[in-house]
Amino acid sequence: MGSTTPPTPATFADIIDLAEHGPDTWLGTSPPYTWGRIYGGQVVAQALWAATRSVDPEFRPHSLHAYFIRGGQPDEPVRFEVDRLRDGRSFSTRAVVARQSGGAILHLSCSFQVDEDDADVQTARMPLATPADDIRPQGDNWPWIMERRAMHTYPGAGQAMGWVKLLDPLPDDPLTHVCGLAFTSDTFQFSAARSIHPLHLPEEHHREAFMGASLDHSIWFHRPTRADEWHMYQWVCHGLRGARGMTVGNLFAPDGTHVATVSQELLLRERRPPSPG
């Protein structure tokens, strides 16, 4: 690979087509987002992809833990620096720092495991849900990468569910789909948190009423599924405190297979007018 900066991505395949920029260092770019910052799931997916470039192919990601440090700027490339923390016979561990000119925007640690033939037991059960094709598309879809179909969240429910998929067909490579799931995992959880906030407002007023951001994000990958086919996230908010909300989610394939567990602490800060004087 060369060391040139990749062009502005238009598909998920473009997003993870990182340019080599020295030993264990990669450059990625971002499409523009309407809110002016890089989507958090994108940076997580790119950092995970960079980490996979440093492990042997028989090692598969089984968990990641990330801190969102500051908002990324879409008009500037992101530098992903991979640190090889440990290589064992069964597990390998990596750390990735994503940087722009203003400093680090994300710190991610991830662990990889060689597939083992052992017990496979699932206790999580997919809830009853409206099929994705029976739900009206949302107006805020990203038609060039991802499509979401959210189910209605009622005030006080403390939970949210929705279907999501990447729009462009992906190759069968399992690592591509794991990174695709990381991309889609930063969605729907704010609806679960906002539903228990004392300030109940229609969704169209949420951005003017709240300032929100993802603070940290963890994923445990249990079983494979395709990121370019509908998969469902079920989020539960465990509570709000100090403008922070704790959310935990399950990811299911359409057949009910429990694919992953996700947790995120998010910032949900009510916008208030400045105090007089």
Asked whether 109 and 94 are in contact (CB, 8 A), the reply is: yes
Grouping H, G, I as helix, E, B as strand and the rest as coil, residue 267 is strand
Q: What is the pLDDT of residues 98-128, one digit of tens each?
A: 999 999 999 999 999 999 999 999 999 999 9
* Per-chain mean pLDDT for the chain: 91
Q: Where are the domains of the chain?
A: 12-114, 132-270
Share of the chain above pLDDT 70, in %: 91
Among all chains, which residue has been given the structure tokens 């991830």? 110
Residue 80 has pLDDT above 90, yes or no: yes
Class of domain 132-270: alpha beta
What's residue 1's pLDDT?
A: 45
Class of domain 12-114: alpha beta
Cα 180 from Cα 230, distance rounded (Å): 12
Cα 215 from Cα 231, distance rounded (Å): 24
What's residue 206's pLDDT?
A: 61
Structure tokens at 103: 């400093």
What's residue 4's pLDDT?
A: 56
Among all chains, which residue has been given the structure tokens 């403390």? 158
Cα 217 from Cα 181, distance rounded (Å): 13
What's residue 139's pLDDT?
A: 63
Cα 169 from Cα 167, distance rounded (Å): 7
Share of the chain above pLDDT 90, in %: 79
Closest-CA residue to 148 (of 197, 186, 175, 204): 186
In 182-243, which ranges are E strands? 210-221, 231-241
**Other CB atoms within 10 A of residue 128 CB:** 6
Cα 91 from Cα 111, distance rounded (Å): 7
Angle at 183 between CA 264 and CA 166, to 5 degrees: 135
Q: What is the pLDDT of residues 230-270, one digit of tens each?
A: 999 999 999 999 999 999 999 999 999 999 999 999 999 88
* Section 29-51 average pLDDT: 94
Closest-CA residue to 43 (of 209, 183, 245): 183
